[in-house]
Amino acid sequence: MDEIHYRILRLLAENPTISQRELARVLGVSLGKANYCLRGLLGKSWVKVQNFRNSENKRAYAYLLTPAGIEAKAKLTLSYLRRKQEEYEAMRREIDALQEEIDASGKLGAKAPV
């Protein structure tokens, strides 16, 4: 859940007036899951909702990060960054090992025995 919360907080910080439908589309999740996660953030008081009363669309909302939400986003960003760096390092080691296998075989396009 941390990753999806991070992604939602990041999207809301960039575009507070994003609709839940658009949020779901960008995240690649169902509208129900986006709503569920957004409600979780509201329950943690990381996000507050503001209705645009002057808007033509009376269901238009702005999702604003609270000070606690800004702090949580910073912590989640750091956690996300560390996780992605670890994944990168693991991938880098795998690539290096595969390159060594190719170099050891002496043939760049050598086929593996069947």
pLDDT at 114: 44
Q: Which CATH number do you get for residue 30?
A: 1.10.10.10
Does residue 89 form part of some domain?
no
pLDDT at 44: 96
Does residue 18 form part of some domain?
yes
Q: Note the Cα 17 to chain centre separation in Å.
A: 18
Does residue 113 form part of some domain?
no
Does residue 86 form part of some domain?
no
- Tens of each residue's pLDDT in the chain, 114 residues: 789 999 999 999 999 999 999 999 999 999 999 999 999 999 999 999 988 665 565 567 899 999 999 999 999 999 999 999 999 999 999 999 999 999 888 765 555 554
Residue span of the structural domain in which 41 resides: 2-74
Helix (H) or strand (E) holding 104: helix 67-105
Does residue 111 form part of some domain?
no
